[in-house]
Amino acid sequence: MATLPNPVDYAVPGFILLVLAEMLVACAADRRRYCPQDTLTSLALGFGSTIAGALSFGLVFATASWVWGYRLMDVPWTWWAFVLCFVLDDLAYYVFHRSAHRVRWFWASHVIHHSSQHYNLSTALRQTWTGFFSLAFIYRLPLFLLGFPPAMVFFCAGLNLIYQFWIHTEVVGRCPRWIEAVMNTPSHHRVHHAVNPRYLDRNYAGVFIVWDRLFGTFEAEREDDRPRYGIVKQLGSFNVLWAAVHEWVGIARDMWSAPWNAKLGYLIREPGWSHDGSRDTSQTIRARWQNQAAAEPSKEQQVGADHVQAA
Amino acid sequence: MNWLLSLGSLAGVLALGGVARLLRLGGSEPLAPEQVTERVQFEYNPFRVERMVIGLDGRAALVRATDGRLVAVKVHGAHPATRLLPGAPAVTTCGDLVVVDTGDRWFGPLRLRLDQAQRDMLRAML
Ligand SMILES: [Zn+2]
Ligand SMILES: [Zn+2]
């Protein structure tokens, strides 16, 4: 089986230089775009994530190769197969990412990426330590079953991750219209990282925003609703370990104290779900905001054609 | 990933952390009543502020809603962070420092520096 290098390894110096460049811009434009403790936490999480990824990669690759053994067809090692693989892998990423926001088990791993109240290039490197444990790789298994060689898929996945780096910035406003129409951009991904009721659980795209437009999860960034970043219940801590595991601890605590018939819900339902309805989910937050806006005509215009997404 | 790359990445992490400090990035203004009100109204919507005390150093605040909910606000890096407090939080006083237990060890206790009038007001809020 052919092997390929991990493109992310080669991108690391570029990541560092671009973070440095964005820091210099922040120094001139708005010092509060960066905060040293937050940056260190993000980068430490990123570093830990590469270690965790390297440790588990052998097992993931072995699983992928085993599944590939049952492939439906033989995808050739040609340029168009790489293009097709990249597009389908991005679709698999969309499905994974959507479930990572709608199923608490996967959210517990993904929340790390959203746990900063900042939105800058260092936030892009705030990556999970528990991706393997959460079994996130299962979303790529259909690609191997289709016949795409594991080396090809992981190469495309690396390129996908590299693409997603540059969109974590407030330095870039809007890109040309055709780019905003097709590609995931800083503007679209700012929406994804925002906790404004309008923006919650929107824009799951990795590289191509068309998936969100196609599956009804797209929301455009608005001048009159500036994104506020982070998670609904902000961490309020720069502790790296706590950032990495806090939601897993939350799941364990909730399952421990819940009645038997509700325990599973704390694992597989959406983040914020509770058996007695005492907590907020993205739907309840959005619904409340919409009701208030409907009652206050001045806000009605802001809500516009927004709708509650059926999960 | 090889060890050279790991070490290089680690050096990059520390260097960038150092640069952020050197450039004096971050920092925050002392908490202001309008900012605290806006923040708690956003995060605990609906939240009608009944009263609040802001520490003399502007690093922390305690807010009470008309429905009795109590929210702790602290400066966390360049942004405020908040916690909804349990029913009757434990409070300890040492001179002008009042420490309110938030029930969240990772968020940490709320440390308010208050003058006498503010301490009296805080007592009335709890
Ligand atoms: Zn996400
Ligand atoms: Zn992101």
d(CA B85, CA B91): 12
Tell me the residue range of the domain where A289 lies: 280-311
How far apart are the C-alpha atoms of B71 and A206, rounded to whole Å?
36
Q: Which of A237, A241, A247, A296 to mutate to test the interface with B (most CBs of B within 10 A)?
A: A237
If one compares A99 and A304, the residue with the highest pLDDT of the two is A99
pTM (global) more than 0.90:
yes
Asked if A123 and A11 sit in the same domain, the reply is yes
Residue A258 lies in a domain: no
Q: How many residues does chain A have?
A: 311
Domain assignment of residue A236, yes or no: no
* Residue B87 scores a pLDDT above 90: no
SS3 A276: coil
**Same structural domain for residues A188 and A114?**
yes
Instruction: Say yes or no: A37 and A183 in one domain.
Output: yes
Give the pLDDT band of residue A219 (cuts 50, 70, 90): very high
Predicted local distance difference test score (pLDDT) of residue A304: 42
pLDDT for position A301 = 47
Asked if the interface predicted TM-score (ipTM) of this complex is over 0.90, the answer is yes
Are A34 and B8 inside 8 Å of each other by CB? no
- Residue A205: C-alpha distances to residues A178, A188, B37, B118 (Å): 16, 9, 34, 49
For the segment B45-58, the average pLDDT, to the nearest whole number, is: 95
Residue A243 lies in a domain: no
Cβ–Cβ gap B26/A40 under 8 Å: no
User: B54 forms bridges with which residues in the sheet?
Assistant: B61
- Chain B residues in contact with A193 (beta carbon < 8 A): none
Asked if the model's pLDDT at residue A1 lies above 70, the reply is no
User: Tell me: the pLDDT tens digits for A174-189?
Assistant: 999 999 999 999 999 9
CB A31 within 8 A of CB B24: yes
Q: Which DSSP state fits A137?
A: G
B103 touching A (Cβ < 8 Å): no
* Number of domains chain A contains: 2
- Which pLDDT does position A305 carry in this prediction? 37
B66 touches chain A (CB under 8 A): no
Instruction: Look at residue B5 in the predicted model and tell me its pLDDT.
Output: 84
- Per the CB < 8 Å rule, is A38 touching B104? no
**pLDDT surpassing 60 at residue A34:** yes
Query: For residue A306, what pLDDT is reported?
Result: 38
Query: Do residues A31 and A113 both lie within one domain?
Result: yes
| Interface contact A309, partner B, CB < 8 A | no
* A120 and A30, same domain (yes or no): yes
Q: Among candidates A168, A200, A199, which has minimal Cα distance to A184?
A: A168
pLDDT tens-digit profile of A269-308?
999 999 999 999 999 999 999 999 899 866 544 444 333 3
Contacts of A279 in chain B (CB under 8 A): none
Do A64 and A155 fall within a single domain?
Answer: yes
